[in-house]
Chains A and B, each alone.
Chain A
Amino acid sequence: MTRQTGVPMALALTDRDRELAAGAFGEAPTIAMRILTRIAEADGAARLIDITSAHVDSCLYHGDAGLDFAERLAAAGGRVAVPTTLNVSSLDLLHPELVHADERLRERGRRLMAAYVAMGGTPTWTCAPYQSARRPEFGEHVAWAESNAIVFANSVLGARTDRYGDFIDICAALTGRVPEAGLHLDENRLARAVFHLVDLPERLARSDVIFPVLGHLIGRATGTLIPAITGLPQGVGEGALKALGAAAASSGGVAMFHAVGSTPEAPTLDAALGGRKPALTVEVDPAALRAARDELTTEAEGTLTAVSVGTPHFSITEFRALAQLIDGRTVANGIEFYVSTSREVLAVVAAEGTLGPLRRAGVDVVTDTCTYITPILRNRGGVVMTNSAKWAWYAPGNLGVGVVFGSLEDCVESAITGRVVRDESVWRD
């Protein structure tokens, strides 16, 4: 990239970097290093650093250029240098009958998935790699793509990843190297914005539904500033932080947040801020939260045709919560009910007996992909209910459906009743 202001930054390369670039390990790492070094120079990085794992997003088909890139690297014998998990694809290979994409898209999607597996990617096909048995630890440098995984890794695990994505994710995986820039550096991880929750009723503070709503609000308001949140209970669970992060990453591209008293780099607000004053301070009261919640619903009064949960992919805990809420009842006739998850989680909930009753209740499980990126929903004539701010944000544009946002409990009661039912009392003062 040309910069008007002047001299290209000099990037310090190790002997191994030079060997990778020169072809000592094959052509694929050489291509990867060409791209990585130009990005590193554009970022103003002083050097490259090692990563311990990668999570690749390029396996989702977005056009033939992406396929050409993957097949080029695979044909050149490219093999990942670090454990590499793969993000959602455009197909559900376990339940192919659910996806009704045309044959050309299916074929391209399959070839793309195959190229990444050929290069040694683990066929996890999930947007929630942090729900796997092995996940990065505090301080570990990784190269993760997928916005909700990035924000979870940084915020909840205290691992360090910058915002990797198409093309650069596989370059990092093939070399095990990334620019020392962005969120890999201490000073870039400090909060610059503070969101103070005020006058929060106890019931709302303890609900699940506040987290995606708060994430949505913060994503819209914080811009490029890393936010810190005060006023939440201490020790908020991972599931809630997962939903908050996913929402903020969708509505605003947030890659890291601090929840004071809950996330590892924010034992106190001062620690999250690094002792500096914030550039932005926002008071969030229940009225602001209600307004944010209302933004997530496009059609409050529509005819319910489907429910979609599991964006990001459902965890084992979430499956158990769903089973408890359904409690032996069945989804009403004519309502589609989808849960998206990973194969790994599906195997666990099947083995432990949680899945069977859900299936019998009329729940369809989708793996490897998600209902907002892949044509799965059959009836798009009515409204779809979801407990996911991320789904609510993307699906109307992607699918042309109306959406109603509610809690998981709201979603279940609506699916069983056959019409939109929401508990409004949790939102009242």
Chain B
Amino acid sequence: MWGGLDPETGVIIDRRHPQCGAITKGRVLVMPVGRGSSSSSSVLAEAIRLGNAPLAVILAEPDDIVLLGALVAEELYGVVCPVAVAGADTYRSLRTGDVVKINPQGIVVDSDGST
């Protein structure tokens, strides 16, 4: 996220990213893993502070860096940005436009928006 997400707009700014220019604010961000510098925690927390963050983040593998950003923002600002790890099948099935429900038991995907 550091260098990839702009906390002041919630927009993906990484020029090498296929979705460069996409707005993550107010949407569920799906990504395989963060794997960036630990400063990415600060980037996510900053985006949450400014109200420009994703509604939630879905990962394919656990990522402490992403989780930390969300946890600290929750401590400071009371805003909850759920961070969930999807099983491989669920992750592979996700498409832009899907509606998801995230709760402590897991993720429910509704591909046709009928939930």
Contacts and interface: CB of A to CB of B under 8 A. Distances in A.
A42 B62 contact: yes
Interface in A123-175: 145, 147, 163-168
Interface in A23-42: 31, 34-35, 38-39, 42
A68 B49 contact: yes
Contacts, number: 108
B41 interface: yes
A4 B64 contact: no
Q: Which 5 A-B pairs have the closest CB atoms?
A: A165-B38, A65-B45, A63-B46, A62-B42, A4-B87
A63 B107 contact: no
B39 interface: yes
Given A64-B49, A166-B39, 12 more contacts: A4-B85, A4-B86, A4-B87, A42-B62, A63-B46, A65-B46, A65-B72, A65-B73, A69-B75, A166-B42, A167-B45, A253-B35
Contact of B84 (A2, A60, A63, A253): A2
Chain B's interface size range is 35 or more
24 contacts: A1-B85, A2-B102, A2-B103, A2-B106, A3-B62, A3-B84, A31-B75, A34-B75, A42-B67, A43-B64, A57-B38, A63-B43, A65-B48, A65-B49, A65-B73, A66-B45, A68-B76, A72-B76, A145-B38, A166-B68, A167-B45, A167-B71, A168-B68, A397-B3
Given A3-B85, A63-B46, A397-B3, A168 B76 contact: no
Contacts of B65: 165-166
B104 interface: yes
Contacts of A2: 82-85, 102-107
Interface of A: 1-5, 8, 31, 34-35, 38-39, 42-43, 57, 60, 62-66, 68-69, 72, 145, 147, 163-168, 253, 397
A318 B38 CA distance: 28
A167 B68 contact: yes
A159 to B, nearest CB: 19
A69 B42 CA distance: 10
Contacts of A66: 42, 45-46
Contacts of A62: 2, 39, 42-43, 46
Contacts of A31: 75
A241 B85 CA distance: 36
A147 B72 CA distance: 21
B59 to A, nearest CB: 8
B10 interface: no
Contacts of A4: 84-87, 90, 106-107
Contacts of A38: 67, 71
A69 B64 contact: no
Contacts of B90: 4
A35 B68 contact: yes
B20 to A, nearest CB: 15
A63 to B, nearest CB: 4
Contacts of A3: 62, 84-85, 106
Given A4-B85, A65-B49, A42 B64 contact: yes
B114 interface: no
Contact of A1 (B43, B46, B67): B67
A203 B107 CA distance: 58
Contact of A65 (B35, B42, B82): B42
Nearest to B87: A4
Contacts of A163: 38
Contacts of A145: 38
Contacts of B39: 60, 62, 165-166
Nearest to A38: B71
B71 A35 contact: yes
Contacts of A42: 62, 64, 67
Contacts of B54: none
Given A4-B87, A5-B87, A397-B3, A63 B42 contact: yes
B68 to A, nearest CB: 5
